Amino acid sequence: MSLPAAIELRDARASMGGRAVWSGVDLVVRSGEFAAVLGSNGSGKSTLLRAILGLVETAPGTVSVLGSPAGGANREIGYLPQRHGFDSTLPIRGVDLVRLGLDGSSWGVPLPIGPRSAARRQARERVREALELVGASAYADRTLGELSGGEQQRILIAQALVRRPRILMLDEPLDSLDLPNQAAVTALVQRICRAENVAVLLVAHDVNPLLPYLDQVIYLAGGRALQGPVEDVITGPKLSELYGVEIEVLRTRDGRLVVVGQPEAPHVHGHRHD
Amino acid sequence: MSNPTLSWNLVKDVHELLAYQFMVNALEAGTIVAVTAGVVGWYMVLRRQSFAGHTIAVMSFPGAAGAALAGVPSAFGYYVACGVAALAIGRSGGAARRGGGRESAAIGVVQVAGLALGYLFLSLYSGVLEQLQTLLFGTFLGIDRNQVLTLLLVAVVVLAALVVVGRPLLLASLDPEVAHARGVPVRALDVGFLLILGLAVAATSQITGALLVFALLVAPPAAAQALTPRPGLSLVLSVVFALLVMWVGLGVSYFSIYPLGFFITSFGFALYLVAKLARYAAARLARDAPPGEPAPAAAV
């Protein structure tokens, strides 16, 4: 069956502080597809997620999310921002953080005491399911400060998942994880993508831990974007064209991809001015 | 000297205490203030805005002194000064939640300016030192019915506002980016909470004095949050602790020649210390027993 696009960008242009981060971007991600967002630092990967959330201006192009303009369907998006500023020593349990993902944006306060209504039971059940889905049930009652990086990441993914979103956007969830945990979290995301028919956008630095799981990649460089299956996009000619300099893609014997000749971020910035 | 009968015949003591209208007023005002401070302080401590809270509190001193100088009710001065301070901090606070250090320096400068201004107002007024002591360290004498009613009104406004914004405020405090993406007006909540804090501080400092607001606004929630990570439970504990500190403080200071602020502060500090020790002991016990402490699962 041909599903309508979960995320669709047409000639989108994102600007921050008057400067275009990328422009002329056309993308389509469908439900149940797992796409990685790749590119060097400053190429606008996080900006892409923020544009899909409607937090970044994209005129004159259009961004449509589940048939609505960007920002109109944010309730259907599970979003895990980059966690640079996240205070992991906060005295809060994983289960509470996941619960906030479920109803934290609703006004009003559920009374801490009083009858346990059906709604409360349902909410608790949903939180339990989400924790189970990511395999975090065993440590969800500990405070975040007591958890390892991988455990925290699972809790945060559970938070993004708890409302059964139709789109899941994870900004560098593999950052600061060791290799086994990177593989485990990626496998988990792919499983959710398939089982719940969720469109997944995962921002990453390195494509290699993702290779066995991806349906496609979105490669951002030089102010433009390229989308397609890994073997079509991560090639010497394609990346050379994107970056505007000679790039070589090597494949190691165990199937890993090595991109050689990538200009550093400042260089890419230079190309952006047209 | 403090009266030893306090500890030996509680019923009689409480009875004696309640025989005076000024004491009833003080207890009512104290109760209202403790509940407000317990709830607002809980958010303040969670949001790590204690320094902002303290600065707003200090601003209540020039507020009250200025009101005395201008010949308007001091309560008026409290609310205006705290409200203005809250807005000022809110305006400068956009990058504060991310940036950290710079903001605290700016707030610190505002704080000393406030203290100096308060002292100036007071000197201009007449230089009565007793007044200074009351403004800084609090009193429970001379609280009239009108004051109690005003406090009640402020408490209702503050608590009602928190009931409405409580959950998004919690999300915005813990996880501002996710909150923003989910359409929670994070920035407006930042300023709104500072205003709520300003109201609560203005109310509290009328009893505890400008310098000792913290005894009620910080110690009880900090103790509660040290004891349990469960949000609902620690919020309730915070209010209970604030009430305890206030009631015991009022009771003891009635039988004592020493000022109320001293007792409230001491009890608040003791409470915090006990909570920290309990926490430490629990951690030690958990480490000795490897299976860990499986806290019962219950989302609030």
In tens, the pLDDT along B151-185 reads 999 999 999 999 999 989 998 988 888 888 888 99
Q: Does A184 touch chain B (CB under 8 A)?
A: no
Judging contacts by C-beta atoms under 8 Å, the chain B residues touching residue A91 are 46, 225-226, 229
Q: Does A101 touch chain B (CB under 8 A)?
A: yes
Calculate mean pLDDT across residues B255-268: 85
The helix, strand and coil proportions of chain B, stated in percent and rounded to the nearest 5, come to: 80, 0, 20
Judging contacts by C-beta atoms under 8 Å, the chain A residues touching residue B179 are 104-105
Residue spans of the domains in chain B: they are: 11-211
Q: How far is CA B194 from the centre of its chain?
A: 13
Judging contacts by C-beta atoms under 8 Å, the chain B residues touching residue A75 are 182
Q: Give the separation between CA A25 and CA A61, rounded to whole angstroms.
A: 8
pLDDT band at B296 (very low <50, low <70, confident <90, very high): very low
**pLDDT, chain B, mean:** 83
Helix, coil or strand: residue B1: coil
Task: CATH number of the domain at A267, please.
Answer: 3.40.50.300
Let me know: does B199 contact B213? Beta carbons within 8 Å: no
Q: Residue B75's pLDDT is what?
A: 83
* Structure ipTM: 0.80
Q: Give the separation between CA B250 and CA B131, rounded to whole angstroms.
A: 20
Please state, for a pLDDT cut of 70, what percent of chain B lies above it.
88
Phi, psi of A35 (to 5 degrees): -120, 135
Residues paired with A8 in a beta bridge: A28, A64
Give per-residue pLDDT as tens, B278-288: 988 888 887 77
Q: Give the separation between CA A166 and CA B39, rounded to whole angstroms.
A: 37
Q: Residue A239's pLDDT is what?
A: 84
**How far, in Å, are A169, A201, B133 from residue A46 at the CA level?**
10, 11, 55
Give per-residue pLDDT as tens, B202-240: 988 888 787 778 788 999 999 999 898 888 899 999 999
Helix, coil or strand: residue B146: helix
Q: Give the separation between CA B295 and CA B144, rounded to whole angstroms.
A: 46
Residue A245, sorted as left (phi over 0), alpha (psi -120 to 50) or beta, turns out to be: beta
Residue B19 has pLDDT above 60, yes or no: yes
> Structure tokens of B269?
């500090």
Q: Residue A135's pLDDT is what?
A: 87
Nearest chain B residue to A144, by CA: B229
3-state secondary structure labels for all residues of chain A: CCCCEEEEEEEEEEEECCEEEEEEEEEEEECCCEEEEEECCCCCHHHHHHHHCCCCCCCCCEEEECCEECCCCHHHEEEECCCCCCCCCCCCEHHHHHHHHHHCCCCCCCCCCCCCCHHHHHHHHHHHHHHHHCCCHHHCCCEHHHCCHHHHHHHHHHHHHCCCCCEEEEECCCCCCCHHHHHHHHHHHHHHHHHCCCEEEEECCCCHHHCCCCCEEEEEECCEEEEECHHHHCCHHHHHHHHCCCCEEEECCCCCEEEECCCCHHHHHHHHCC
Q: Which residues contact B87 (CB under 8 A, 6 or more apart)?
A: B191, B194, B195, B198
- Contact: B181, A92; criterion CB under 8 Å: no
Judging contacts by C-beta atoms under 8 Å, the chain B residues touching residue A53 are 181
- Contact: B174, A103; criterion CB under 8 Å: no
Is this model's pTM higher than 0.95 or not?
no
pLDDT band at B90 (very low <50, low <70, confident <90, very high): confident
Residue B2 has pLDDT above 80, yes or no: no
Judging contacts by C-beta atoms under 8 Å, the chain B residues touching residue A161 are none
Q: Does A119 touch chain B (CB under 8 A)?
A: no
> What is the domain extent for residue A102?
5-272
Using CB atoms, pick whichever of B164, B167, B182 lies closest to residue A74.
Answer: B182
Calculate mean pLDDT across residues B121-145: 76
Q: How many CB atoms lie within 10 A of CB B230?
A: 24
Give per-residue pLDDT as tens, A135-168: 899 999 988 888 888 888 889 889 998 999 999 9
CA distance B258 to chain A (A): 36
> Structure tokens of B241?
């602790």
- Contact: A99, B164; criterion CB under 8 Å: no
Using CB atoms, pick whichever of B162, B171, B297 lies closest to residue A141.
Answer: B297
Give per-residue pLDDT as tens, B176-212: 888 888 889 998 999 999 999 999 999 888 887 877 7
Q: Residue A2's pLDDT is what?
A: 53
Q: Residue A98's pLDDT is what?
A: 92
**How far, in Å, are A3, A31, B219 from residue A194 at the CA level?**
14, 9, 49
Closest CA to A103 of A185, A159, A142: A159
Number of domains in chain A: 1
Let me know: does A100 contact A190? Beta carbons within 8 Å: no
Instruction: Mention the CATH class of domain B11-211.
Output: mainly alpha
- Residue showing tokens 């902002």: B52
Q: Helix crossing, B74-92 with B50-70: angle to 10°?
A: 140
- Contact: A55, B181; criterion CB under 8 Å: yes
Q: How many CB atoms lie within 10 A of CB B20?
A: 11
Phi, psi of A169 (to 5 degrees): -125, 115
Residue B96 has pLDDT above 80, yes or no: no
Judging contacts by C-beta atoms under 8 Å, the chain A residues touching residue B98 are 85
Q: Residue B128's pLDDT is what?
A: 62
Phi, psi of A207 (to 5 degrees): -80, -20
The helices-and-strands tally (H runs, E runs) of chain B is 15, 0
Rounded mean pLDDT for each run of 10 residues along chain A, 274 residues in total = 78 85 92 92 90 88 90 89 68 88 79 64 90 90 84 89 92 85 89 92 89 91 89 85 84 84 53 38
Q: Give the separation between CA B299 and CA A233, rounded to whole angstroms.
A: 45
Nearest chain B residue to A77, by CA: B182
Q: Residue B106's pLDDT is what?
A: 78
Helix, coil or strand: residue B71: coil
Q: Residue B292's pLDDT is what?
A: 44
Is the peptide bond preceding residue A60 cis, with omega within 30 degrees of 0?
yes
Closest CA to A154 of A123, A169, A132, A171: A132
One-letter amino acid at B186 equals: V
Q: Which residues contact A145 (CB under 8 A, 6 or more apart)?
A: A88, A89, A90, A91
